[in-house]
Structure 1
Amino acid sequence: MNTTPNLPAYRHQRFYQGPVRAVIFDWAGTLVDFGSFAPTQVLIDAFAGFGISVSMAEARVPMGLAKWDHIQQLGLQAGVAQRWQERYGKPMADADVDALYAAFLPLQIERVAQYSGLIPGTLTVLAQLRERGIRIGSCSGYPRVVMNPLLVHAASQGLTVEHAVATDDLQAGGRPGPWMALANVIELGIGDVRACVKVDDTVPGIAEGLAAGMWTVGLSLSGNETGLTFAELEALPLSEQAKRRDAAAAKLAHAGAHYVIDSIAGLPAIIAAIELRMAHGDQP
């Protein structure tokens, strides 16, 4: 007697040659918050509450990680570690990270909406993806208590996604591991990770997409690597914009991004390029 259950017939394809099925977006610096200031400025303020000065450049180095991990890595940077040692007479310990995180979190919840205006082109691009039947997922280094008010604020501006994973939603953890991206694959019912594209402005976010087996697209100007508001960027001479674009793009490409573009506004052309490559047998 055949006792094999009637399961869906998912047959592994050696080469995936279909269309893009889903795009998994980061949030700050990708969909909202041009320049990614909500996480960085609040971290600076949290450290200031402990008598430790942190520069914006220092705060940006661990961007993309879960915020507890971000604080820990920030405290391990040579300059910050030295200032902590001088003030407290000992290296920063996990208990100190806990205390900083406890101070950071209510500030982040209070201010996330303040910084999270839509990045130009976001609504247009998402509408174009939906017209093509491409599913919209997302994930973030924000914990759930920050993600929830961010989702409400984004919706008030017309931005909604089908699924959003916060960094503390999963027992396995967050970036640079693949778990948040893969949680989107499961929730959206995508049968092949090679049909997915991860879009992010940070090195850990690119690593996340690569670990999940996805195509990855880095954002050079709208996110953490350039770290300017839209107005500040527009005010720069074109030569300086190009210099900053090149530096950010080089870092994201070195991290393994398959493509690097300025912002989400350039994504539709990249989706078309990825689909053309897959049609010819290329894989992420």
Structure 2
Amino acid sequence: MITLATLDIAGTTVDEGGAVYRVLAEVVAEHGTPAAEADIRRWMGADKREALAALTGDPGAAEELHEKFVARLHTAYAETPPRPLPGVAEAIAELRERGVRVVLTTGFDRQVTDPLLASLGWRVGEQLDGVVCAPEVAAGRPEPDMIVEAMRRTGVDNPANVLAAGDTVLDIRAGRAAGAAMVVGVLSGAQTAEELAGEHPTHILGSLAELPSVLAGELSRG
């Protein structure tokens, strides 16, 4: 039985208009190292400091570049506020009503995550059971550390009780590395069904809004 769902934020639970990767590409290009779209896509879902260091080839500038990225992203979000993807808030509420704890995981740090979630009115202890940001663990995706930390914070010991969902290849790799019983790719973000399927998730859904019915179906078969 699934008792914990770990869900990515941008592109999985929240529609932020693709701003994060647009801004990431801008910051990298302004540093003098323009990145091809394929290179940006490889870092979707990753810790943003790690992405900036790798994409620019300049780890020493990562902190300064991250500060620029955060400021630019706040401006983008002020101009076009993020919003929950259709049906996702309702799906999260339904999961929690069934006793499934819901923890968001993200490659953002708290500078981005906390204002973003506050703008949605999502709070730990009310709409959510926790939030884990990549800088709070030893390694971001594709390592399983954020999922393991979500398990620790919610008292879930067995990965057989865990569902991990996200819209990127790195989300799926992290879920598989954690040994999660269900590893769900969603098509509401920037990566395609073909890209996600190559990582062998247990499910690919059009939207996280479908998750409660999928879980109900798994329970009835179990």
Q: State the alpha-carbon separation in 2 of the partners of residues 47 and 59 from structure 1.
A: 10
Spell out, residue by residue over 1:219-271, the C-alpha distance to the aligned partner (whole angstroms, 9 max, x if none).
12x1021xxxxxxxxxxxxxxxxxxxxxx222212112110011112112221
Q: What is residue 33 of structure 1 aligned with on the other side?
A: 15
| Mapped pair 1:101 → 2:45 | no
State the one-letter code of the partner of 1:21: T
Q: What are the equivalent positions in structure 2 for 1:183-198 lying under 5 Å apart?
A: 183-198=149-164
Q: CA deviation at 1:93?
A: 2.7
Spell out, residue by residue over 1:136-177, the C-alpha distance to the aligned partner (whole angstroms, 9 max, x if none).
1111010121111112112179x931100111012x121111
- CA separation of 1:47 and 1:115: change in aligned 2, threshold 3 A: farther
Task: For residue 191 of structure 1, give the secondary structure of its aligned residue in structure 2.
Answer: coil
Q: Are the equivalent residues in 2 in contact too, given 1:173–1:179 (CA < 8 A)?
A: yes
Q: State the alpha-carbon separation in 2 of the partners of residues 189 and 156 from structure 1.
A: 22
Which of 23, 30, 44 is residue 25 of structure 2 equivalent to?
44
Q: What are the equivalent positions in structure 2 for 1:258-273 lying under 5 Å apart?
A: 258-273=202-217
Which of 243, 246, 250 is residue 194 of structure 2 equivalent to?
250
Q: CA deviation at 1:51?
A: 4.9
Q: State the alpha-carbon separation in 2 of the partners of residues 50 and 212 from structure 1.
A: 35
Q: Are the equivalent residues in 2 in contact too, given 1:38–1:116 (CA < 8 A)?
A: no
Q: Are the equivalent residues in 2 in contact too, given 1:175–1:204 (CA < 8 A)?
A: yes
Q: Are the equivalent residues in 2 in contact too, given 1:197–1:217 (CA < 8 A)?
A: yes
Task: For residue 175 of structure 1, give the secondary structure of its aligned residue in structure 2.
Answer: coil
Q: What is residue 124 of structure 1 aligned with on the other side?
A: 90
Following superposition, which runs of at least 4 residues in structure 1 exceed 4 angstroms of deviation?
A: 51-58
Tell me the TM-score normalised to structure 1 length.
0.69
- CA separation of 1:260 and 1:179: change in aligned 2, threshold 3 A: same
Task: For residue 136 of structure 1, give the secondary structure of its aligned residue in structure 2.
Answer: strand
Q: Are the equivalent residues in 1 in contact too, given 2:4–2:102 (CA < 8 A)?
A: yes
Q: What is residue 49 of structure 2 aligned with on the other side?
A: 68
Which of 183, 194, 203 is residue 216 of structure 1 equivalent to?
183
Q: State the alpha-carbon separation in 2 of the partners of residues 111 and 142 from structure 1.
A: 15
More strand by share: 2
> Over aligned residues, Cα RMSD in angstroms?
2.3
Q: CA deviation at 1:57?
A: 5.4
Q: CA deviation at 1:58?
A: 4.5
State the one-letter code of the partner of 2:49: W
Q: What is residue 178 of structure 1 aligned with on the other side?
A: 144
Task: For residue 164 of structure 2, give the secondary structure of its aligned residue in structure 1.
Answer: strand
- CA separation of 1:156 and 1:254: change in aligned 2, threshold 3 A: closer
Task: For residue 153 of structure 1, give the secondary structure of its aligned residue in structure 2.
Answer: helix
State the one-letter code of the partner of 2:66: Y
Q: What is residue 201 of structure 1 aligned with on the other side?
A: 167
State the one-letter code of the partner of 2:2: V
Q: State the alpha-carbon separation in 2 of the partners of residues 26 and 149 from structure 1.
A: 16
Gaps of 5+ in 1: 1-18, 76-91, 226-247, 280-284
Q: Are the equivalent residues in 1 in contact too, given 2:45–2:141 (CA < 8 A)?
A: yes
Tell me the TM-score normalised to structure 2 length.
0.87
- CA separation of 1:156 and 1:196: change in aligned 2, threshold 3 A: closer
Overall identity of the aligned pairs, in %: 29
